[in-house]
Structure 1
Amino acid sequence: MSSAGMFTPTNKKVARLYWYFVAAVVGVLVFRRVVDRVRVWQLRRNQQQPQRIPGRPQNAFEQCYDTTIAICRELAYPQLWTCTGKFSRYFTPPPLGRCLLLLVYWAVILTMLWSNVILAPSASNYAYRWEIVGFRAAWVSITQLPLIYILSGKANIITMLTGISYERLNWLHRWVGRTIFLTVIVHWSYFFTEWTIADFVSFELKIMPMVKYGFGAWATLGWMVITGFGFFRNLSYELWFLQHLAAALVLLWLVHKHVPSYAAYNVWFAVGVIVLDRLVRTVMSLVINLHLDPSKTQNVSSRRRIGYEAEVTSLSNEFLLVKIRNVGFSWRPGQHVYLSIPRAGVFEAHPFTIASVPSSISGADGPNDVQLYLRVHNGFTKRLQRQCQRQLRPRAFLSFISGPWGNPPSVERFESMVFVAAGNGASFTFPMFQQAVRTNNHLRQISFVWIFRQAEQLDWFKEQLLSAWTTARKRNVRVNIHAFITGSAPDSVQTPSEGRPLIEQRSHADPSRGEKPGDGLPPSTEKNESIKKGDTGIVRETSVSSSASSLISEQPTIAINYGRPDPDSLVRPMVEEAWGETGIIACGGCHFTGQMRNCVARLSDERGVHKGTGAQGIYLFCETYGW
């Protein structure tokens, strides 16, 4: 093992090149963030100039930049295929953009691993042909270790610099871990081959305790890789998280015992990353839950000096509504919090998207209330639902909050916007829709589309949707609101809303066009409308709609549709009528967001966005259930 010194200088240089590569990628993302921020700042300065159209290039630099971005988007958006089986869905590949990034990453790793280590028989150091590869693979492996822990943290340096939220980096965290697992195999297999040829495997294991720690670290990493697949995570997330956290700490200890002192800085780098993440999260949680921020203290209810009061209402067997009263913080629409309710699970905290907007955006007087719509699954939400399902009134619980987390896109940069959500995904798109109609001074047209199973779900946001419609029309913004009901036929819907039927029973869908359950969006072509006028607006019924655009009414209108829409019909009308960049915000399951990705990529390529045709940019942001 004394031959390690022969290869250390070169291997350290390779390790530095790896972090130069990571820094270069982060630098490109920071540059893009800065450019986007500057353009949004310019829009704010020029908001009194109606001729300034968001997203439309104003000079040669912007034209070149937008063309490059359009090409990158067309490469990044497509979803190669989506598996929908109960087990096969866990083998759905990442979108094309992520696949290409992985290929680049693997090309870098392979270059680092095999460059100048394959020795010819005539080489002077040919006797070390096994060790030179083994040591190189060791450095390639240990060098990647800190990146795993950086990508796993909520408060990490990459998120702070690039603005990419931690949950959108989680996929890369898993793939880097799988890559290290393979490079470690190269590391020990080359050494093991040499020991086998020399016939001193048992002697090596006896005199070198570090070898045993190395095999232990590899086994621990292998366990984390195998259990990290979605199938195992979803069996019992709480149990999976605890064992994964314990394994991550054990892995660091084993690696520290295995590596020589001159490479241990990688382990301490990872430890520092963990300490920083936990320190930031702990301080944030203490400030929020102990109400330590003086500027927010006066708005917090005196009933809770520690934590918050969470009122939980059982909406159905599938959904819960949680209202957290008088929170001592603000948030951006689209962000999420980690909610902990000790009565439903001690030491458990689960992420939920905030479905309401802060008072600074809504304009309402008084303190902020956080609303969360929870889909009932096994575990935490199931236990909470059991305690509330027979209650006639909301039940109050002591709760604790961590957050807010996430970095949703800015709505100020778009001239046209389309919000598309499936099921509970409206918790993400609806607050951003409210923000867009109230704060985007350059917005000209907007469409909100919600696809859900049961008609009573419309009651979650119906009044707020109608209010947002009115706000948009007052600002001279063209607005369409469409609801697609997929779980019941129009003649069977009898859902009370404010003491009157939500949907009249004059509309009948063609039974021959019955829809199959799932996330698929088959085309819809037939239309059958009826209109219901109420005190606050119009609910327009449509059995199946062929397009997301409709005639603009002068009264608040929600178009009720039956069936599943074609993604192209939701996006194309708005894109073709846009004068500047169109922002599309989608939230739903993997199959749903995959179809939206393919639709937008195909439409962008067809229109030749920013390639001399005059077609303006199309931006897509997909939020997917499950991380």
Structure 2
Amino acid sequence: DPLINWKPGQHVFLSCHSVVPLQSHPFTVMSLPSDNKIEFLVRAEKGGTRRFFQFATKRGALLGETQSSDNRKRTVFIEGPYGSLRPLRQFDSVILLAGGMGCTYTLPLMRDIVQAWKQEPQSSMRLAATKRIRFVWVIKSRSQLSWVESELQSVLQDLQNLRQQHPHVDKEIEMSIYLTCDEALEKFTRPTTTMTAQRNFTEITRNEDIDEKKTVETEIVVVRSVSSSTSESSVINERSGCGVTRKCCCTTTIENEDDVSFIQKCNCSGAAGKAAPSTPSSPSTTSLVDMKGFKTMTGRPHPRSIIHHVLEQAEGESAVVVCGPRGLAADVRQSVVSLSDERAVHKGTGAQGIYLHVENFGW
């Protein structure tokens, strides 16, 4: 069990000087304290993260490979955790929006609320005021869905089990996955590999002078999944697009998901198109596929419509949390401000307040 404490959404600075000398990298903790493990989802790009990946590859610690006989342990330094967020359990409705690797921030927040829902029937007190969660994730290609698909399915299964055991439970979760060709979701266009790492802690030494710094000796083992997401440098133009307009259909902004009732796979060039090849007869319009409880669409979300729809159903205060590219964060921020003014929040209309938290993407 990890002997450090953290809250959902917090991040730590991770360094392993025997692998990446004199470097420290920030990673959001993907797991919850109740998981009894500390887990990170790391995209191997270049520099330190690439060397971490190469180290894991040489040791045969990747999924599907024979474990290496090299059982030497490496000393890993963890500084933190850092980051603070108003508890989301106190809000009636929670809207979580993420772009690319931003899901490492929003997913633990959703899991934490669902965990409170599961524990509440056995508790003598109310653990969460939240009644509904709206989860939106924008990714570049369908292959990236494998990063956290099992976690998303687990959340939906937990809610289904809760409803079966306690039919009176009035909780809702709505998930939407948007597939877009937007290059802004990925900083680099070179081939990348995403690896999920689980750290099994064996020792921990606490520095009494610096409360937030901890030294942990651990065996680095990549245990869950490794998926490659290769993105080629390509420009979406009229000839590389799809449909009669020869424009990329996966850059279309979807203002109302309920109006999307047809199935299609985008055939644009680049990583997104190759991840989801289409047949010649596929219509060149936005697509909707209901995959085991959550909707998967080709296109871009319309933050204002998503937030407005949730606010119309909210019976109390709502929280909006976004983590992703600057463009997505700016759209969400502008939408919240506009809706607050439109609804005249805290101006005698009775409209409930909206809490907004924007988490920076990158370092």
Same fold judged by TM-score > 0.5?
Answer: yes
Q: Does 1:481 align with 2:178?
A: no
Cross-structure match for 2:101: 424
TM-superposed CA distance for 1:357, in Å, is 1.1
Q: How far apart, CA to CA, are the structure 1 residues paired with 2:329 and 2:343? A: 21
Q: 2:260 aligns with which of 513, 527, 533?
A: 527
Q: Does 1:403 align with 2:104?
A: no
Q: Render the CA deviation track for 1:408-443: whole Å, top value 9, x for unaligned.
A: 220122001111000000000000001112225321
TM-superposed CA distance for 1:373, in Å, is 1.6
Q: 1:433 aligns with which of 110, 113, 131?
A: 110
Q: How far apart, CA to CA, are the structure 1 residues paired with 2:332 and 2:89? A: 22
Identity across matched positions, percent:
30
Cross-structure match for 2:136: 449
Q: Render the CA deviation track for 1:255-278: whole Å, top value 9, x for unaligned.
A: xxxxxxxxxxxxxxxxxxxxxxxx
The 3 A distance-change label for structure 1 pair 557 and 376 is: same
The 3 A distance-change label for structure 1 pair 452 and 357 is: same
Q: How far apart, CA to CA, are the structure 2 residues paired with 1:625 and 1:369? A: 24
Q: 1:615 aligns with which of 338, 341, 351?
A: 351
The 3 A distance-change label for structure 1 pair 379 and 483 is: same
The 3 A distance-change label for structure 1 pair 556 and 377 is: closer
1:168-317 map, 5 Å: none
Q: Is the 8 A contact 1:448 1:480 kept in 2?
A: yes
Amino acid at match of 1:341: C
Amino acid at match of 2:296: I
Q: How far apart, CA to CA, are the structure 1 residues paired with 2:95 and 2:40? A: 23
Amino acid at match of 1:458: L
The 3 A distance-change label for structure 1 pair 406 and 511 is: farther
In proportion to residue count, which structure has more helix? 1
Unaligned 5+ runs, structure 1: 1-325, 489-497, 499-508, 532-542
Q: Is the 8 A contact 1:515 1:564 kept in 2?
A: no
TM-superposed CA distance for 1:571, in Å, is 1.0
Q: How far apart, CA to CA, are the structure 2 residues paired with 1:602 and 1:455? A: 32
Cross-structure match for 2:91: 414
1:567-606 map, 5 Å: 567-606=303-342
Q: Render the CA deviation track for 1:385-418: whole Å, top value 9, x for unaligned.
A: 3334577643886222122221122012200111
The 3 A distance-change label for structure 1 pair 556 and 477 is: farther
Amino acid at match of 1:482: S
Q: How far apart, CA to CA, are the structure 1 residues paired with 2:261 and 2:58? A: 39
Unaligned 5+ runs, structure 2: 63-67, 117-126, 163-168, 183-224, 226-241, 265-284
TM-superposed CA distance for 1:462, in Å, is 1.7
Q: How far apart, CA to CA, are the structure 2 residues paired with 1:470 and 1:614? A: 36
TM-superposed CA distance for 1:343, in Å, is 3.3
Q: Does 1:369 align with 2:102?
A: no
SS at 1:327 equivalent: coil
Cross-structure match for 1:538: none
Amino acid at match of 1:591: G
Q: How far apart, CA to CA, are the structure 2 residues paired with 1:606 and 1:389? A: 53
Q: How far apart, CA to CA, are the structure 2 residues paired with 1:613 and 1:483? A: 34
Q: 2:22 aligns with which of 315, 330, 347?
A: 347
Q: Render the CA deviation track for 1:222-265: whole Å, top value 9, x for unaligned.
A: xxxxxxxxxxxxxxxxxxxxxxxxxxxxxxxxxxxxxxxxxxxx
SS at 1:559 equivalent: strand
Cross-structure match for 1:560: 296
Q: Render the CA deviation track for 1:155-191: whole Å, top value 9, x for unaligned.
A: xxxxxxxxxxxxxxxxxxxxxxxxxxxxxxxxxxxxx
Amino acid at match of 2:141: Q
Q: Is the 8 A contact 1:524 1:563 kept in 2?
A: no
Q: How far apart, CA to CA, are the structure 2 residues paired with 1:400 and 1:588? A: 27
Q: Render the CA deviation track for 1:194-222: whole Å, top value 9, x for unaligned.
A: xxxxxxxxxxxxxxxxxxxxxxxxxxxxx
The 3 A distance-change label for structure 1 pair 545 and 612 is: farther
Q: How far apart, CA to CA, are the structure 2 residues paired with 1:391 and 1:452? A: 30
Q: Is the 8 A contact 1:528 1:544 kept in 2?
A: no
The 3 A distance-change label for structure 1 pair 510 and 434 is: farther
Q: How far apart, CA to CA, are the structure 2 residues paired with 1:418 and 1:430? A: 11
Q: 1:470 aligns with which of 157, 172, 177?
A: 157
SS at 2:23 equivalent: coil
The 3 A distance-change label for structure 1 pair 598 and 343 is: same
The count of corresponding residues between Structure 1 and Structure 2 is: 257
The 3 A distance-change label for structure 1 pair 545 and 433 is: farther
Q: TM-score, normalised by structure 2?
A: 0.63
The 3 A distance-change label for structure 1 pair 529 and 468 is: farther
Q: Is the 8 A contact 2:249 2:298 kept in 1?
A: no
Q: Render the CA deviation track for 1:319-340: whole Å, top value 9, x for unaligned.
A: xxxxxxx421231100011111
Q: Is the 8 A contact 1:524 1:544 kept in 2?
A: no
Cross-structure match for 1:514: 248
Q: Is the 8 A contact 1:610 1:616 kept in 2?
A: yes
Amino acid at match of 2:170: N
TM-superposed CA distance for 1:529, in Å, is 4.5
TM-superposed CA distance for 1:578, in Å, is 0.6
RMSD: 3.2
Q: TM-score, normalised by structure 1?
A: 0.38
In proportion to residue count, which structure has more strand? 2
Q: How far apart, CA to CA, are the structure 1 residues paired with 2:108 and 2:350? A: 32
